[in-house]
Chains A and B, each alone.
Chain A
């Protein structure tokens, strides 16, 4: 049962344009969401997060939007740069017995062309 889904395996964007990466989830108990970026031969690195009490969080070029009614979150990168080319994972967490456990999506490969 894939509770967090990234339905686009890949995304190609021109440098300077906006990149929009999408993520859907099914578990209504999730209350904290994160995005990670992963380069080849490296571990994922934390990018940005959002709590379920918010619908938007911004950090520089990166903005995460959360639509709880649609169980959907998205990551916007503006403007996109070639160095942003990587695999992006969304992840979700809830409390209770799932405390400390991140549930990840399958990842989206972002390619930013110069």
Chain B
């Protein structure tokens, strides 16, 4: 069974540009979660999508947005990139929002220069 796949693995962008990160969940999982791990910090919750709808959102500005497609894959968009957006972005999928069944991808390392 394929795990959660994220693309690209690494992304380098210039301040002010937009970044698009992609996530394919495990087959059958309808929930997708996005987390940001900045250097020295724990994982910070960004967004939760389920059945195509945004179900919950973390304490991030509106320039962090995303969507979930009918095949349950998801996209995270970060507009007007700032240097502090440089981080590892992790996607997880699950059938169960209580975290026990979370399967994380390996992440996208975003570097803003």
Q: Which of A99-114 contact B (CB under 8 A)?
A: 99-107
The reply on A34 being an interface residue by CB < 8 A is yes
Most buried by B among A34, A41, A104, A105: A104
> Interface stretch among B12-20, B36-44, B61-69, B71-79?
B36-44
B42 touches A89 (CB 8 A): yes
Kindly list chain A residues whose C-beta atoms are within 8 Å of the C-beta of B31: 100
**How long is the Cα–Cα vector from A61 to B44 in the complex, in angstroms?**
28
Q: Which of B67-113 contact A (CB under 8 A)?
A: 90, 92, 97-107
B107 touches A100 (CB 8 A): no
A43 touches B42 (CB 8 A): no
The reply on A65 being an interface residue by CB < 8 A is no
Question: How would residues 34 to 60 of chain A score, 1 for a CB under 8 Å from any chain B CB and 0 otherwise?
Answer: 100000011111100100000000000
A100 touches B43 (CB 8 A): no
Chain B min CB distance to A38 (Å): 8
**How long is the Cα–Cα vector from A45 to B55 in the complex, in angstroms?**
23
**How long is the Cα–Cα vector from A34 to B99 in the complex, in angstroms?**
8
**How long is the Cα–Cα vector from A46 to B98 in the complex, in angstroms?**
11
Interface size for chain B: under 10, 10 to 19, 20 to 34, or 35 or more residues?
Answer: 20 to 34
B58 touches A101 (CB 8 A): yes
**How long is the Cα–Cα vector from A43 to B106 in the complex, in angstroms?**
4
Kindly list chain A residues whose C-beta atoms are within 8 Å of the C-beta of B99: 32, 34, 46, 49, 91, 93, 102
The reply on A8 being an interface residue by CB < 8 A is no
Q: Known contacts A32-B99, A46-B102; is A101 also within 8 Å of B48 by CB? A: yes
List 29 interface pairs A-B (beta carbons < 8 Å), by A numbering: A4-B42, A32-B99, A34-B100, A41-B106, A43-B4, A43-B92, A43-B104, A43-B105, A44-B43, A44-B90, A45-B104, A46-B101, A46-B103, A49-B99, A93-B98, A98-B56, A99-B55, A100-B31, A100-B97, A101-B45, A101-B48, A101-B58, A102-B43, A102-B45, A102-B99, A102-B102, A103-B45, A106-B41, A107-B42
Seen from chain A, the residues whose Cβ lies within 8 Å of a Cβ on chain B are: 4, 6, 32, 34, 41-46, 49, 89, 91, 93, 97-107
